[in-house]
Structure 1
């Protein structure tokens, strides 16, 4: 792989602005009483869809450190087929996936309506902002080719 410009180093003010968004999104998650471990699973799921190896590794470690089980992490790509997630979590995962894959049909009304049936407005807002921010981080890490070495 060719070496790329590291966006964090080439434009530190912009990078810090994204860090500010990250902090605000984390505060929104906490304010909505979404568990930290599950928030890392939401970030991890977006990172899996975006194929961001750097973020996948980081959020797997963060989820484990926050008390998430290796079982929930391992079945995350097939969450719909498992009994590991509550209806509230399933609605959050579907919303994160729809926002991550926004070019493939926007955010379908059915997914938003499912979220509205199981999540408060505060929770929906927090999940949506978390999705926006992790997708920004994925794009920074992927386009900069952040190294992922064993």
Structure 2
């Protein structure tokens, strides 16, 4: 596979806008870094984004995430390694990433709102929107996985 183009070099202002969303999520959203990485990993699994899976598995491990949780993330419903709060976030991630399969069903929303404040729910939704955007950039322009190192994008 060969990369099609470098979005950062081609449209720096647009890329900086995406980086602004990331900066907000990492610095001002008050969401746990481990939760953000789980959201990024799960959406990237659903979307089949190898570049983002490579990046966020490395970032998660650098932050202390266990291999066990990363390996079982796609089966989070059956795996006993996730908290109820994480499960709610993962269910919301799936509902918003697979939007054509039910348009964020009411029952999922009712479950997720019990674990997050309204502000946190907005911020988690923004995290889901952002990773889905990054997935589409990486997939569309065929970013090549494997070379990313944690801390390189900060």
Please report the TM-score for the alignment, with normalisation by the length of structure 1.
0.91
Equivalence for 1:25: 25
**1-side partners of 2:100 and 2:10: how far apart?**
28
**Partner secondary structure for residue 139 of structure 2:** helix
How big is the alpha-carbon RMSD for the aligned residues of Structure 1 and Structure 2?
Answer: 1.5
**Unaligned stretches of 5+ residues in structure 2:** 148-154
- Asked if the contact 1:25–1:133 (Cα under 8 Å) also holds between the matched residues in 2, the reply is no
Say yes or no: does 1:145 pair with 2:142. yes
Of 98, 104, 107, the match for 2:104: 107
Equivalence for 2:67: 70
**Partner secondary structure for residue 76 of structure 2:** helix
Per residue, is there more helix in 1 or in 2? 1
- Asked if the contact 1:37–1:64 (Cα under 8 Å) also holds between the matched residues in 2, the reply is no
- Written as runs of structure 1 = structure 2, the 5 A alignment for 1:60-99 is 60-99=57-96
**Unaligned stretches of 5+ residues in structure 1:** none
**1-side partners of 2:100 and 2:6: how far apart?**
26
Of 33, 39, 63, the match for 1:42: 39
- Asked if the contact 2:3–2:143 (Cα under 8 Å) also holds between the matched residues in 1, the reply is no
